[in-house]
Amino acid sequence: MTNIRTEIKTLVFFVAYFATVFICTKLDPGGPCTPGMGGALLFLSIPISLIYLIILFYKLYKSEDRQYLNSIYILTGIWILFFFLLKLNV
């Protein structure tokens, strides 16, 4: 399991995470004043991403391995794509 590249781990984690957010949103949509489980997980994804980004920058600084830089690009691309999807959906 440790031989899996960082880029693949990043993609698999965030695809699984946002799939879980989508499923939880369908199961527990919440109300107008309270977010459901999907909304809570969506709000939680922001600090998770920031912490993961800090870890990736630290590993990039320590090892200067290109795969950490690629993971940073992938994470940024995921959030940009997510932002545009939310803008189109509103």
Helix (H) or strand (E) holding 24: helix 6-27
Q: C-alpha dihedral over 70, 56, 81, 35, to 10 degrees? A: 160
Q: What pLDDT, in 10s, does the model give residues 20-76?
A: 988 988 888 887 888 888 888 888 988 999 999 999 889 889 887 888 888 889 899
Q: Does residue 89 carry a pLDDT above 90?
A: no
Q: Using alpha carbons only, what angle is made at residue 13 by residues 86 and 75, rounded to the nearest 5 degrees?
A: 55
pLDDT at residue 90 in the model = 57
pLDDT at residue 51 in the model = 93
64: three-class secondary structure by DSSP: coil
Q: Does residue 1 carry a pLDDT above 60?
A: no
Radius of gyration of the chain measured on its C-alpha atoms = 15
pLDDT at residue 47 in the model = 92
Tell me the residue length of the chain.
90
pLDDT at residue 7 in the model = 85
